[in-house]
Amino acid sequence: MSTSLHPHSSSLPRKLLGLAALGLSTLTIVAAASGRDAALDLADFDKVYELDALNVHAGEDWRPTRSASATRTDTAIEDIPQSISVISAQVLEDLDVARIDHAMDFAGGVVRGNNFGGLQISGYTVRGFTTGEIYRNGFPANRGTSTSPDASSVERVEVLKGPSSGLYGRSDPGGLVNIVTKRPQQDAFTRVRASAGSWDRYRAALDINRPLDTAGKVLARLNLAVEDNGSFRDHVEQQRQVVSPSLTWHINAKTQLQVDAEIIRNDSIYDRGISPVNGNPDVMSRRRFLGEPNDGKMRNNNQMLQAALEHWLPNNWKLRLANQYWAGHLQGTTSENQLPAAPDFDTVRRRTRARDFQWHGNMTHLDLVGSFTLAGMQHQFLLGLEHETHTNGSTFWQSDYPPSYALNIYNPVYGGPKPTTVTKTSTASTTEIWGLNIQDQVSFTEKLRGQIGVRVENYQLDGRNLVTGAENPHQEKDIATPRIGLVYEVSPQVNLFGSVAKSFKPNGVDELGNSRKPEEGFGYEAGTKFELLSGRLGGTLGLFHITKENVLTSNPDYPASSIIQQIPIGEQRSRGFDMQVAGYISKSIRLIAAYAWIDAEVSKSNNPNLPVGRDLAGIPRHSGSVMGVYQFQRGVFKGSEFGVSVFYVGTRPSSTDANRLDIADYTTTNLFLRYKPSENLSIGLNLNNLTDKRYYERLFGNTWLVPGDPRNFSINVSLKL
């Protein structure tokens, strides 16, 4: 399947290149012409690169204090005028999870969305808006049909809330997720972790870190993980292998090269979950599989390579050139159901779908970052040029819903003859993006700091129907997305912040091939970042109001006088507040907690089935979580721990349709114990969903509900060599 496409030329990329070259040259000259030579020697080696790598220091494993996600510069979280929730690797370990999903429960305002049958990066709703925007070290991790991120190489997860197009380009206005991966360290170590649990779930992970030379200038780290998992769901299983190498080369005291790679192979049964029966989601057994075991597994292979070269210029200016290449292939056959139908509601009709998706892409960042004093104010400045190109190819083969392929939901009989394929669609598209980022973080006074930035982007999309050979009309859009924010230090323990930002996301073409207006988001936020208990506990509270315009709605003239079925005139609005608190109550007790109240609704519509005021699908008004861990400080159990976590999700509408269902709220309680007979060995037990609550962790309209795990356990052993 050929997917080669050539975007049309544009003058804007040349303008961006010219402007970036002029800016980079000017700033380099300014930095070099300053009065002090900032050359670094080897004595400064550790100090410089410890800060730049954003390593987690002692005492920060539950409460990191710095971030690069919101600014692409190493900045104290308290100085960033935007809500950022951070979930550390220690939280992932305490939860004994292999994916980031459960850790996201502690971000505040983040709810699980569609998981595409368990095959792709899971979708989320952040502050009321659905998003799939997940990044890895500042690069997109889900262009294409990438599989879910594995926890084996994750150092921390940062949820950047509110519109973020001012730095990352096209995105949803609720926020995005950036995964910071584990990097090589100076000290050699080897860690082995193995776990086994309910329904024949097995996992092993290996973390090896080594300096490759005696001077410690070349450091390597390798994370490996392998899984073989069953499920409480009938016929559902999954296997996964992950290889994540990382290399850091301190070429000299001024120059560093960082290389990261990841290869994931994932084989899994496609599983959409269960369906409501005559409007009741609790009739069908949680175990019932509505697919077809004879379909076999879907295979999803992903490869990623990142490289970043950083060079320090005089006076702490830094030039950074970074690149990411990614590719993947998803292939397999599935059987998918409709809702159980009258008169008896005891059978579901099914169809077969075969998928063959391929994707690959390349992105390059060139950033100049530095600080200077102007008009008595300190400035941290970033000028960045970005180029991305990626190609997606997708082929579907699909049957209809013949009665002969129906399944009884109470007494299923699998293995029937496959339906005949009736349709095939095959498309390819190439996207090219040029972006220019300009950002200034200003210290106006000792207490007042500000951030202002703008991204200018040229977005181009070309596509082709591979069945008919017809090319889609060329899409091109120039757009600027500004953002501005202020932070005021009320006291050393309390900062107040406020920000305004804009986002955009392309909206495709209509049925006539004309480009639609892109979705545009606009968000306001105000809040506080605070410290308690002498800085051991820290938190963020943010109040927000976000609108998303140009949402696709039904064409009122269709079908009477128009063939255009959807037009971009709708609007959605989300408002509320969210918060996260994390850190140490005492030397023995650590805590992480989050809560959100979100009011998300349709604010403009021409569709009578989608009236103004209708709640958005899948968004609970209330959600929250808390986890506390106690560590023994002395005696025979010194170093051992036990912890409790509680997670709550309020009532959610299954869709925005008039016949939507209200999915009941739920609370789950989990317990973990960790015994440490020595510094290098720990043995853990996790007990999850202690009350065996029936709940649904993901929704996809009124048809598919993904049930959460019943009561279960896992045992894990961790050994440091």
Q: pLDDT (tens digit, 9 = 90+) per residue, 34-58?
A: 333 333 343 343 433 333 333 333 3
553: confidence class by pLDDT, cuts 50, 70, 90: confident
> Does pLDDT of 597 surpass 70?
yes
Rounded Cα gap, residues 291 and 83, in angstroms = 41
What's the angle, vertex CA 164, arms to CA 166 and CA 700, rounded to 5?
145
User: What does the pLDDT read at residue 175?
Assistant: 92
Q: Which residue reads 């339906």 in tokens?
A: 419
Rounded Cα gap, residues 111 and 600, in angstroms = 13
Identify which has the larger pLDDT, 56 or 508. 508
Q: pLDDT (tens digit, 9 = 90+) per residue, 252-290?
A: 999 999 999 999 999 999 999 999 999 999 999 999 999
* Mean pLDDT computed over 675-699: 95
644: confidence class by pLDDT, cuts 50, 70, 90: very high
> Does pLDDT of 464 surpass 60?
yes
User: What does the pLDDT read at residue 465?
Assistant: 87
Provide the β-strand partners of residue 198: none
**DSSP code of residue 325:** E
Q: What share of the chain has pLDDT > 90, as a percent? A: 69
3-state SS, residue 681: strand
**What is this structure's pTM?**
0.88
Which amino acid does the sequence have at 357?
Answer: F
* Mean pLDDT computed over 476-499: 95
C-alpha torsion angle, residues 292, 296, 297, 298 (rounded to 10): -80
318: confidence class by pLDDT, cuts 50, 70, 90: very high
> Does pLDDT of 565 surpass 80?
no
Q: pLDDT (tens digit, 9 = 90+) per residue, 359-389?
A: 999 999 999 999 999 989 999 999 999 999 9
> Does pLDDT of 604 surpass 70?
yes
Q: Which residue reads 């996992």 in tokens?
A: 203
Sheet holding 110-112, edge to edge: 110-112, 124-126, 129-131
Structure token digits, residue 279: 């409007």
User: What does the pLDDT read at residue 560?
Assistant: 54
| Cis preceding-peptide flag for 559 (omega within 30 of 0) | yes
User: What does the pLDDT read at residue 566?
Assistant: 76
**DSSP code of residue 165:** H
Identify which of 488, 501, 454 has the alpha carbon closest to the alpha carbon of residue 161.
Answer: 501
Alpha-carbon radius of gyration of the chain: 26
Q: What share of the chain has pLDDT > 70, as a percent? A: 88
Structure token digits, residue 308: 């970043």
Domains of the chain from N-terminus onward: 11-562+577-720 (2.40.170.20)
**C-alpha to C-alpha distances, 94 to 194, 566, 693, nearest whole angstrom:** 14, 46, 21
- The 3-state secondary structure of 330-351 reads EEEEEEEECCCCCCCCCEECEE
* Mean pLDDT computed over 532-539: 92
Assess contact for 577 and 599: CB atoms under 8 A. Answer: no
Rounded Cα gap, residues 167 and 226, in angstroms = 35
Phi then psi for 640, rounded to 5 degrees? Answer: -75, 160
Q: Which residue reads 């008004």 in tokens?
A: 621
Structure token digits, residue 688: 């999850």
Q: Exposed, middle or buried by CB within 10 Å (0-12, 13-18, 19+), for 142?
A: buried
* Mean pLDDT computed over 186-199: 96
Identify which has the larger pLDDT, 146 or 536. 536
User: What does the pLDDT read at residue 44?
Assistant: 41
Identify which of 304, 270, 314 has the alpha carbon closest to the alpha carbon of residue 290.
Answer: 270
Identify which has the larger pLDDT, 355 or 508. 355
**C-alpha to C-alpha distances, 5 to 324, 431, 460, 538, nearest whole angstrom:** 20, 9, 11, 49
Count the Cβ atoms, other than its own, within 10 Å of residue 683.
15
Buried b (16+ CB within 10 A) or exposed e, 381-416: bbbbbbbbbbbbbbbebbbeebeebbbebeebeeee
User: What does the pLDDT read at residue 561?
Assistant: 53
Identify which has the larger pLDDT, 155 or 21. 155
| Cis preceding-peptide flag for 276 (omega within 30 of 0) | no
- Which range, of 13-17, 354-358, 603-607, averages the lowest pLDDT? 13-17
What's the angle, vertex CA 126, arms to CA 123 and CA 129, rounded to 5?
80
Chain-wide mean pLDDT for the chain? 87
* Mean pLDDT computed over 453-482: 90
**C-alpha to C-alpha distances, 691 to 477, 511, 647, 688, 710, nearest whole angstrom:** 52, 50, 12, 9, 9
* Mean pLDDT computed over 4-12: 44
3-state SS, residue 639: coil
Gap between the terminal Cα atoms of the chain: 48
* Mean pLDDT computed over 660-680: 95
3-state SS, residue 650: coil
> Does pLDDT of 474 surpass 60?
yes
19: confidence class by pLDDT, cuts 50, 70, 90: very low
Structure token digits, residue 590: 């650590």
Q: Is the dihedral of CA 516, 115, 614, 577 positive or negative?
A: negative
Rounded Cα gap, residues 91 and 70, in angstroms = 21
Structure token digits, residue 372: 């200077």
Structure token digits, residue 38: 């900032």
User: What does the pLDDT read at residue 659?
Assistant: 83
**DSSP code of residue 716:** E
> Does pLDDT of 26 surpass 50?
no
* Mean pLDDT computed over 680-700: 95
Q: Exposed, middle or buried by CB within 10 Å (0-12, 13-18, 19+), for 633?
A: exposed
Rounded Cα gap, residues 175 and 156, in angstroms = 17
Q: pLDDT (tens digit, 9 = 90+) per residue, 205-226?
A: 999 999 999 999 999 999 999 9
Helix (H) or strand (E) holding 104: helix 101-104
564: confidence class by pLDDT, cuts 50, 70, 90: low
Please report the DSSP string for 9-28 in residue order: P-HHHHHHHHHHHHHHHHHH
- Which range, of 213-217, 494-498, 666-670, 690-694, averages the lowest pLDDT? 213-217
Q: Which residue reads 């030039």 in tokens?
A: 319
User: What does the pLDDT read at residue 23?
Assistant: 43
